[in-house]
Amino acid sequence: MNRIVTFSGAGLSKESGIPTFRDSKDGLWHHFRVEDVATREAWLRNPELVLQFYETRWHNVQSCEPNAAHRAIASLDRSYEVINITQNVDDLLERAGAKQVIHLHGSLNARKCEWHHSIVGIKGDSEFHCDYRATQTAPVKLGELCPKCGGQLRPDVVWFGEAVDMQWNYFQMLAGQTDVFIGVGTSGQVEPAASLLSVFRKAKEKYFIDPEPPSGLSGYERLKGSACTHMPELAHGLIERLADVDPPPRYQSSESD
Ligand code: OAD
């Protein structure tokens, strides 16, 4: 089966009503300082403010629905093997029906111990020893403690300065076996996730959907505009294309079989 990999950022969910981070008017980082709400230092200084920030994000996502771009991506599952790598912490791809979603920056629907080992990556730091992580149906509150070690619980998202589980070997292998790679709605400014745009250069066909695609995307067809404008059209074309391909000739058994 042909394989499609998508790589998305906040722009994919913007038309659902979830703000991006860096858009000039309503980007979250124009209203909040990263240093106040999305770093370990912020957590140690003022955990209540950090939890409030993520509680607002959680309610925002709960009140939103998948948009036409999420649904178009999910529709590809019927014809292709599709792997969706996203920087988004919302669950709109899953709610649209997408089967395989990898959340590089975590998920608002999960919580973990503040001493979870994933925070520092494989190299480790003995303080980060806990493995408690669980799904959640309400945002974490100050005073909700880890049932394993008593640490304060926090959202299962990645903050600046924390480790991202990049699965480099898997992504390198996948890139060599990808027919179509679609970047959508990301400024490509945050490493290490942004490196995937180079890793997937090996894919046979590459598209990038964004009103302002990042510069230096050699080999990509740029579809300038919103996700809901271009993604349904691209998905439709990819599905039609498979339908146009003649089915392989039926196996004819020879007389000696
Ligand atoms: P950004 O806010 O950096 O970029 C959003 C992108 O979406 C920009 O390239 C916009 O042009 C584009 N965009 C805006 N409206 C769009 C629309 N309707 N359709 C398609 N694209 C649209 O968000 P990300 O690239 O996701 O990390 O940011 C990456 C990471 O930085 C996030 O995961 C988050 C943030 O800080 C952490 O919090 C660790």
Q: Give, using CA atoms, the residue closest to atom 22 of ligand 1.
A: 11
Determine whether the shortest distance from the Cβ of 227 to ligand 1 is under 6 A: yes
User: Residues 226-252: pLDDT tens digits?
Assistant: 999 999 999 999 999 877 665 555 554
Closest CA to 174 of 54, 30, 6, 48: 6
Q: Residue 210: is its pLDDT beyond 80?
A: yes
- Going along the chain from its start, the domains and CATH numbers come out as 1-16+66-105+165-248 (3.40.50.1220), 19-63+111-157 (3.30.1600.10)
Q: Give, using CA atoms, the residue closest to atom 25 of ligand 1.
A: 186
Nearest-angstrom CA–CA distance, 88 and 105: 7
User: Residues 115-166: pLDDT tens digits?
Assistant: 999 998 766 678 899 999 999 999 999 999 999 999 999 999 999 999 999 9
pLDDT for the residue numbered 245: 63
Q: Residue 257: is its pLDDT beyond 90?
A: no
Give the length of the chain.
257
User: Residues 165-186: pLDDT tens digits?
Assistant: 999 999 999 999 999 999 999 9
Q: Give, using CA atoms, the residue closest to atom 11 of ligand 1.
A: 212
Identified catalytic residue from 30, 59, 103, 105: 105
pLDDT for the residue numbered 145: 98
C-beta of residue 199 within 8 angstroms of C-beta of residue 175: yes
193 by Cβ neighbours in 10 Å (0-12 / 13-18 / 19+) ranks as buried
The more confident residue out of 32 and 229 is: 229
User: Residues 211-221: pLDDT tens digits?
Assistant: 999 988 889 99
Residue 133 to residues 107, 147, 215, 245, Cα–Cα distance (Å): 11, 10, 38, 45
243 by Cβ neighbours in 10 Å (0-12 / 13-18 / 19+) ranks as exposed
Residue 133: phi and psi, rounded to 5, are -150, 140
pLDDT for the residue numbered 106: 97
- Residue 32 in tokens: 């909040």
**Helical ranges in the chain per DSSP H:** 11-14, 28-31, 34-37, 40-45, 47-62, 68-75, 92-96, 168-176, 196-199, 227-244
Residue 51 CA to ligand 1 center (angstroms) comes to 22
- Residue 85 in tokens: 């790598």
Residue 10 CA to ligand 1 center (angstroms) comes to 4
With the most atoms of ligand 1 within 8 angstroms of its CB, the residue from 20, 37, 39, 64 to mutate is 20
The more confident residue out of 122 and 188 is: 188
Determine whether the shortest distance from the Cβ of 211 to ligand 1 is under 6 A: yes
Residue 94 to residues 43, 66, 77, 100, 108, Cα–Cα distance (Å): 29, 9, 12, 8, 13
Residue 64 CA to ligand 1 center (angstroms) comes to 17
Determine whether the shortest distance from the Cβ of 190 to ligand 1 is under 6 A: yes
105 given a catalytic annotation:
yes
Determine whether the shortest distance from the Cβ of 15 to ligand 1 is under 6 A: yes
- Scan for tokens 């008017």, then name that residue: 25
Q: Residue 53: is its pLDDT beyond 80?
A: yes
User: Residues 63-122: pLDDT tens digits?
Assistant: 999 999 999 999 999 999 999 999 999 999 999 999 999 999 999 999 999 999 999 876
- Residue 86 in tokens: 């996203």
Determine whether the shortest distance from the Cβ of 72 to ligand 1 is under 6 A: no
Nearest-angstrom CA–CA distance, 182 and 96: 17
pLDDT for the residue numbered 253: 46
User: Residues 10-24: pLDDT tens digits?
Assistant: 999 999 999 999 988
Determine whether the shortest distance from the Cβ of 185 to ligand 1 is under 6 A: yes
C-beta of residue 142 within 8 angstroms of C-beta of residue 152: yes
pLDDT for the residue numbered 126: 82
Determine whether the shortest distance from the Cβ of 158 to ligand 1 is under 6 A: yes
Nearest-angstrom CA–CA distance, 200 and 99: 21
Determine whether the shortest distance from the Cβ of 75 to ligand 1 is under 6 A: no
pTM above 0.85, yes or no: yes
As a whole-number percent, the residues of the chain with pLDDT over 70 amount to 93
Q: Give, using CA atoms, the residue closest to atom 14 of ligand 1.
A: 11
Q: Residue 190: is its pLDDT beyond 50?
A: yes
